[in-house]
Amino acid sequence: MYRKDREITDIAAKIAVIDRCKVCRLGLAEDNRPYIVPVNYGYRYVSGVLTVYIHGAARGKKWEIIKKNNAACFEVDGAHQLIEADNACNYAFAYESVIGFGHIAVIDADAKEEKVEALNVIMKHQTGKEVAHHFSDAALDAVAVYMLPIDDWTGKQRKMV
């Protein structure tokens, strides 16, 4: 990282950024061409491993790219605030962000309990409520649930002065 003075090294601080954000950008690559899509997500941090969960249709561009190349990254950012200055060249922006890399997997259609668990992780993150939601078989069959265990991740922030 170029600006080590802005690096977030504390795991709890990086998790706090992930927890505050509700939309992540999922980065994929199709034939050496980047594809970035904003998605809602949920996450778990268990035994030192961060796993990001997302959902979507079991068809479409994201689905097709992942089937061909499961290398992925995610990015979240927040705490945006303009830092004003006396002249244009000294303006800046306060922010916090986390970026992580891994290989995304589709939770198998037959693994209904795992899909329900992952969907509940997403719902908990999005709503802030720990509720065991129930999903019909038709709903589970219609949705693809993706799991992205993170191999490497960094955090960065610029605070207001």
So where are the chain's domains? 4-149
Taking the C-alpha atoms of 96, 24, 72 and 120 in order, what is their torsion angle to the nearest 10 degrees? Answer: 120
Say if residue 82's pLDDT is above 80.
yes
Identify the DSSP state of 59.
Answer: S
> Could you say which architecture CATH assigns to the domain 4-149?
Roll (2.30)
SS3 119: helix
Placement of tokens 């992540």 in the chain: 24
pLDDT at residue 29 in the model: 96
| pTM of the model as a whole | 0.92
